[in-house]
Chains A and B, each alone.
Chain A
Amino acid sequence: DAKTTQPTSMDCAEGRAANLPCNHSTISGNEYVYWYRQIHSQGPQYIIHGLKNNETNEMASLIITEDRKSSTLILPHATLRDTAVYYCIVRVYSGGGADGLTFGKGTHLIIQP
């Protein structure tokens, strides 16, 4: 799986949009970008994933650059409960069943009241 680079930590004001960047310059054509988060003392939680098109669900939006070398996770209206470590993971997915994920250090997002 391709390597990702994320800022160690970020702050965001409550109610504002939180934009979390991820660099994956060595991504290959069949690798997806996945985002997970881990709230303190909980297991990781899936947020969103995409291949090359922008994606949106009830939790977040994922913007992938045209060259696919970077992406941004957007939490549109951050709340205090969004304080967590956010992991950007690049991996191949064939559809036949999930493979183990390789977690980097992630970004510690702190939402400020």
Chain B
Amino acid sequence: SAVISQKPSRDICQRGTSLTIQCQVDSQVTMMFWYRQQPGQSLTLIATANQGSEATYESGFVIDKFPISRPNLTFSTLTVSNMSPEDSSIYLCSGGLAGGTGELFFGEGSRLTVL
């Protein structure tokens, strides 16, 4: 299994600012992903964080708005840029182990409120 830690767990931000969320995994994972969960909704995949290369974004999400880094196998960051109240959501990091059963492990999420 893998334990995934996210920082910050929650934050309140002003419109127009940017916030970077960190994700640390306690073991090497093959894949890392970032999800968004808007209030009362299910999870939506934002992007796959690729080690040493640009992230792969899902439809509706762009790099300028959600830049992602993954410098090594156990760490990734997601930045929410030029925030608006519509960006108020929980952002979750997840990871999967190579050769495992295909299960993904999730962090507890970072709850972001934009005023």
Contact = CB atoms under 8 A, between A and B. Distances in A.
Interface of A: 32, 34, 38, 41-46, 49, 85, 87, 91, 93, 95-106
Nearest to B58: A100
Query: Top 8 closest A-B pairs, CB basis?
Result: A98-B96, A43-B106, A97-B30, A93-B102, A46-B103, A103-B43, A103-B42, A100-B45
Given A44-B43, A103-B43, A97 B106 contact: no
A102 B58 CA distance: 11
B108 A49 contact: no
Contacts of B109: 41-43
Contact of B102 (A44, A49, A102, A106): A49
> Majority SS of interface residues in chain A?
loop
Given A43-B92, A43-B109, A98 B104 contact: yes
Contacts of A45: 106
Contact of B108 (A34, A43, A46): A43
Contacts of A44: 43, 92, 94, 104, 106
Nearest to A47: B103
B40 to A, nearest CB: 10
B99 A95 contact: yes
B102 A104 contact: no
B39 interface: no
B48 interface: yes
Nearest to B33: A100
13 contacts: A34-B103, A43-B94, A43-B106, A44-B43, A44-B104, A46-B104, A98-B97, A98-B100, A98-B102, A101-B94, A103-B35, A105-B42, A106-B42
Contacts of B31: 97-100
Given A95-B99, A97-B97, 20 more contacts: A32-B102, A34-B103, A42-B108, A43-B94, A43-B108, A43-B109, A44-B104, A45-B106, A46-B105, A49-B102, A49-B103, A85-B42, A96-B30, A98-B96, A98-B102, A99-B96, A100-B31, A100-B58, A101-B94, A101-B104
